[in-house]
Amino acid sequence: MQLINTKNELKDTLSVILSQSKTLGLVPTMGALHKGHLSLIEKAFNENDSLVVSIFVNPTQFNNKEDLEKYPKTLENDLSLITSVSDEIIVYTPSVEEIYAANVKAEVYNFEGLDRVMEGEFRDNHFNGVGTIVEELLTSIKPTKAYFGEKDFQQLQIIRKLVAIKNIPVEIIGCPIVREANDLAMSSRNERLPKELREKASFIYQTLLEAKNKFGTKSALDVIKWVENEFENNQNFKLEYFQISDSEDLKPVISKIKNKKYRAFIAVFADEIRLIDNIAL
Ligand code: PAF
């Protein structure tokens, strides 16, 4: 495994790699790797001649200072997980100064409304921060394909939009959500859940499955009301939002249109830990 910390070192290594490889994969991460990340890394490794995994806790995408401070930093474990896939992977771990110099600020993008719903409503400026770091990584690494998990489905659609508006020549690959044994979507935040609550969090995906089932015969509004009621009757979790949206433009569905693809999105608090999930309907 090759560990790189600076843009210059990255440039030198990539110029050698790109002269030998036809395809280069990129898996951007913020570290605290789990099986969900590993599934992206394995897929990207198998589909490309060379692979870069970046580990960078991006400050401009955190709207909550405490969340940034509490974000787990587990570099040693991350490196050994990456090496368990292959010791040929290049790992890029720049510092905040390396990426932002003295200007730790997000660019402002026009994501054509994709950033104004759901996570965007509750996490001010979050997607401008994501866009800033992803644009920086895509333009400095120039991968053939970049891999992102569908757990952050809104982020995935925003990255597709970023690539289109900035004309970045890369294929964006969305990868299915990986779940724990009880179907809780894998997340670095799960580690912060008390054991009992982590077990009970199967309720989130069970509710999504039942919502999917109901959406076959009921209106979006009826399904939303049903989900809200389920959470009102469950003291363990506080519902922040449940939304049924068009899978492409993420606009909330008003009435179902045949042959359109829809997705349900949820954000929930378990104690002070915020969990998100989604399901194709
Ligand atoms: O999904 C994440 O881990 C982050 O938002 C990303 C894409 C690595 C950008 O910091």
Domains of the chain: residue spans and CATH:
2-175 (3.40.50.620), 188-280 (3.30.1300.10)
Query: In percent, how much of the chain has pLDDT > 70?
Result: 100
User: Residue range 138-165: average pLDDT?
Assistant: 98
Range 104-125 average pLDDT: 94
Whether the pLDDT of residue 130 is over 90: the answer is: yes
Across the range 11-17, mean pLDDT stands at 93
Ligand 1 mean position, distance from CA 30 (Å): 6
What pLDDT does 153 receive? 98
Whose C-alpha lies nearest to ligand 1, atom 2? 29
| Whole-angstrom distance, CA of residue 233 vs CA of residue 218 | 21
Q: Which of 26, 53, 58 to mutate to test the pocket of ligand 1 (most atoms within 8 A of CB)?
A: 58
* pLDDT for residue 64 is more than 90: no
d(CA 97, CA 101): 4
Structure confidence at residue 91 as a pLDDT band (50, 70, 90):
very high
Model confidence at 66: pLDDT above 90: no
Rounded to an integer, what distance in angstroms lies between the CA atom of residue 27 and that of residue 52?
Answer: 6
pLDDT at 201 (0 to 100): 98
Annotated active-site residue 126? The verdict is no
- Give me the pLDDT at residue 232, please: 97
List the catalytic residue out of 34, 37, 123, 274.
37
Please give the model's pTM, rounded to 2 decimal places. 0.95
Cα separation values, 7 from 54, 136, 259, 278, Å = 12, 11, 46, 35
| Confidence band of 166 (pLDDT split at 50, 70, 90) | very high
